[in-house]
Chain A
Amino acid sequence: MQREAAIREPLILGDKSYKDITDDVVGPIQGDAPIGWKIMITISSIIAVYGVGCILYLLGTGIGVWGLNKTVGWAWDITNFVWWVGIGHAGTLISAVLLLFRQKWRMAINRSAEAMTIFAVIMAAIFPGIHMGRIWVSYWVLPLPNQFGSLWVNFNSPLLWDVFAISTYFSVSLVFWYIGLIPDFATIRDRMTKPFAKKVYGFLSFGWSGRAKHWNRFEEVSLVLAGIATPLVFSVHSIVSMDFATSVIPGWHTTIFPPYFVSGAVFSGFAMVQTLLLIMRKGMKLENYIHVKHVEYMNIVIIVTGSIVGVAYLTELFISWYSGVEYESYAFINRFSGPYSWAYWIMMTCNVISPQLFWFKKIRRSLVATFALSIVVNIGMWFERYVIIVTSIHRDYDPSSWGEFHPTNIDIGVFIGTLGIFFTLFLGFARFFPVLALNELKTILKSSGENYKKAQENN
């Protein structure tokens, strides 16, 4: 049997057996919904409905209902898109990259982080979809034979690369997530007593029986999918960054964008995981599985990626001066001292200064501080995209075209609405899905369970 050093903190606390793990996760699904859950889902679905209303109004009227103008033709829509895709990065990083690195602490958080990824990517996909204005012709982004003659989509354009990147990322993450879910749905199926629920989970579990050969294949599939999802994580946000970096707008035309966007994405993704999991572990009584050590590990990832983002901000500033390009240096001087300097300084404070607090062990291991800082980081990362996008284009080459962006109620409504849809989906997941990867957690119980580790020490 695999042993773990005694000095390592156990990953599963308390006196747990295999059965306890099943009961702790399946119990809440069998029981009635707690009142807190009902309140939360009511609020989030009301917001979601409002958001859907705003989207329908937008589609019916045209994107003129947004605050976009001739100079600032891209604003909240693309900011929200990049923000949501960035959040989506943590899930696959946790389940794929950490699997390759054999990081066992991922097992308590990968399921919900991946759910978060999938829902976040759905939210992201809404924005380019509705930004087309005529969503009913959105199939034009695909290389399909058409009535216009031999006209194909442009494979030289990063916007088209994005179509392929986001759809691949979404569908591969979904498949990866579902393959892990199948055995756990089987566990729920075999525990359910109500015939209807048993039927539904039976259908979802695809008749999984846990045969040795099936587990053998399961592990191979998980490993290979992790192997190919890892470069996918890095490619998706690199391509998103190229939407900007390959254009010739001062402030966007930067070669450091891909690594800078990827670390920013992981940074914001982990912050959102913290926000969601700190509530979920309390609400669903999962404190023994997702505990201070897990939070600390995630905070360490936040310091590392946050610092990379900080270095990227400073590098951008330095290079804009060092390049000697007047337009480039103006774009950056304008960022920190122009009309949008308030947004720039919110971004700097939230993303560069606040995560550095995690160097203190007390703060890194404090759940309250982590929750507060995770929200600060979420806000900061939204402003990062806003700053990059709006401040770079609101000053045109031609000063007579200089303008500003003012969001309308529909801009705000659509953004808040996606938050509502996201939380509704996530709450639905927390209620009906196995929120911990049961089959994976059981494999580490003997090497990393508190009771087993104590017994080992006493031997």
Chain B
Amino acid sequence: MNKVFHVMYDDDDTLKDAASALVAKGIRVKDVFSPFPVHGIDPIIGVKRTRLGIAAFMYATTGTTLALLGMWYFMISDWPMNIGGKPSFSLIENLPAFIPVTFEFSVLCGAHGMAITYLLRNGTLPGMPASNPDPRTTDDKFVMEITTEQNTLSADELEAAIKETPLFELSTKDYK
């Protein structure tokens, strides 16, 4: 039988200190639930920096390529139009006029691609159920989740270590 501890703190700085103290003892903190981004908690509990920025860059360059390709096809290859004698027979010559749409389309693809990836990776999608252990974690409380599964210490040892931190509330649940 595995046990999960939900340790609640009533302050972000207390939470950070407690997490540092527990990690120093070799305990793995599974997750932290907080009402706002607690700066500095990520390195303590081992959350790596997201790679979403790289994804956004890739989406944006895809947008750039698609926009240029599209405009080359519409305006140069398929049906070159003579509009006031403006150059219409090569992409390079006509490029200045294509820059605004290229920029806009890159931003469009970068922003939407990133937002969709963000929602999918988070699993936050319309109609998904909430998984925070306590409704107060979206208000003013901070919860640390620790499981016996991820730790070598026994449930009792873990509980003892947790109780040394200035916690606000502790709830324990069994799960298989």
Interface positions of B from 20 to 38, Cβ below 8 Å from A: 31-38
- Are B94 and A156 neighbours in the complex by a CB distance under 8 Å? yes
Among candidates A168, A186, A214, A242, residue contacting B105 with C-beta atoms closer than 8 Å: A168
Given contacts A152-B75, A156-B86, A440-B36, is CB(A206)–CB(B128) below 8 Å? yes
Q: How large is the interface on A (under 10, 10 to 19, 20 to 34, 35 or more residues)?
A: 35 or more
Among candidates A212, A225, A442, residue contacting B32 with C-beta atoms closer than 8 Å: A212
- Are A206 and B83 neighbours in the complex by a CB distance under 8 Å? no
Please give the distance in Å from A62's CB to the nearest CB on chain B.
Answer: 28
Please give the distance in Å from A133's CB to the nearest CB on chain B.
Answer: 23
Cα A215 to Cα B31 in complex, Å, equals 11
Cα A208 to Cα B112 in complex, Å, equals 19
Interface positions of A from 170 to 213, Cβ below 8 Å from B: 171-172, 175-176, 179, 182-183, 186-187, 189-191, 202-203, 205-213
Task: Spot the interface stretch: A121-129, A226-234, A374-382, A397-405.
Answer: A226-234
A82 at the A/B interface (Cβ < 8 Å)? no
- Are A207 and B129 neighbours in the complex by a CB distance under 8 Å? yes
Cα A320 to Cα B121 in complex, Å, equals 56
Given contacts A187-B138, A443-B36, is CB(A164)–CB(B132) below 8 Å? no
B169 at the A/B interface (Cβ < 8 Å)? no
Cα A183 to Cα B74 in complex, Å, equals 43
Chain B binding surface SS class: helix
Contacts of B47 in A (CB 8 A): 212-213, 216
Contacts of A443 in B (CB 8 A): 36-37, 39
Interface positions of B from 112 to 142, Cβ below 8 Å from A: 112, 114-115, 118-119, 121-132, 135-140
A221 at the A/B interface (Cβ < 8 Å)? yes
- Are A156 and B101 neighbours in the complex by a CB distance under 8 Å? no
Q: How large is the interface on B (under 10, 10 to 19, 20 to 34, 35 or more residues)?
A: 35 or more
Contact flags B65-88 to A (C-beta < 8 A → 1, else 0): 000001100110011010100100
B13 at the A/B interface (Cβ < 8 Å)? yes
Given contacts A19-B140, A203-B127, is CB(A210)–CB(B35) below 8 Å? yes
Among candidates A1, A208, A232, residue contacting B107 with C-beta atoms closer than 8 Å: A232
Contacts of B121 in A (CB 8 A): 217
Contact flags A154-169 to B (C-beta < 8 A → 1, else 0): 1111101100110110
Contacts of B119 in A (CB 8 A): 206
Residues on B facing A (Cβ under 8 Å): 12-13, 31-39, 41-42, 45, 47, 49-50, 52-53, 56, 60, 70-71, 74-75, 78-79, 81, 83, 86, 94, 97-98, 100-101, 103-105, 107-108, 110-112, 114-115, 118-119, 121-132, 135-140
Can you report 11 A-B residue pairs in the complex whose CB atoms are below 8 A from each other?
A: A19-B139, A152-B78, A155-B75, A175-B115, A209-B33, A212-B31, A212-B41, A213-B50, A218-B118, A232-B107, A442-B35
